Amino acid sequence: MKIQSSVLVHLGFGKYVRSDRVTALVPVEEDRGPGRRTFVHIEGQSDPIVAARAEDTIVRDLVQEPREVIQSRQQQDILQDLLADLSAVNATVRRICRDEGGLDLERLERRIREVLEA
């Protein structure tokens, strides 16, 4: 994953910074508390900004996955759930689905496995 450019990241208490300008995040060790959680070092500035949010939440906002990656992961999860559910369908129900409804569950399972393996 990489830092997305030109995304505004919330630091807390109305402070925002462009994601591609952040060079380092350092947890506040002394006097840490509300409003003082993380030092955010910014490109071109000698002093860090004090953020009210923890470093892990700032990193999560800095490193945003592209929507396509998130959707692909969700689709893979749905296919895995469907495959697990299909494996529990007994032979009688499979035959009825195929003969009466035109739904070949074996073929569907093979196609899902092929997609998941690719």
Residue 23 covered by a domain: yes
Q: What is the pLDDT of residues 30-85, one digit of tens each?
A: 988 888 999 999 999 999 999 999 998 888 888 866 566 667 878 999 999 999 99
| pTM of the full structure | 0.54
**Co-location of 27 and 52 in the same domain:** yes
**Co-location of 53 and 38 in the same domain:** yes
**Mean pLDDT, residues 16-28:** 93
**Co-location of 58 and 71 in the same domain:** no
Choose the weakest-confidence range: 20-29, 55-64, 105-114: 55-64
d(CA 111, CA 106): 9
Asked if the model's pLDDT at residue 2 lies above 60, the reply is yes
C-alpha pair distances (Å), 92 with each of 8, 71, 100, 107: 56, 35, 12, 16
Residue 38 covered by a domain: yes
Range of the domain at 113: 67-117
Tokens 């092929």 belong to 114
**Co-location of 72 and 106 in the same domain:** yes
**Co-location of 72 and 113 in the same domain:** yes
Residue 1 covered by a domain: no
**Mean pLDDT, residues 4-19:** 86
* Per-residue pLDDT, 29: 92
* Per-residue pLDDT, 66: 54
**Co-location of 74 and 43 in the same domain:** no
**Co-location of 52 and 83 in the same domain:** no
User: Of 22, 39, 62, which marks where a domain is finished?
Assistant: 62
Residue 87 covered by a domain: yes
Q: What is the pLDDT of residues 49-60, one digit of tens each?
A: 999 999 988 888
Structural domain count of the chain = 2
User: Of 41, 62, 83, which marks where a domain is finished?
Assistant: 62
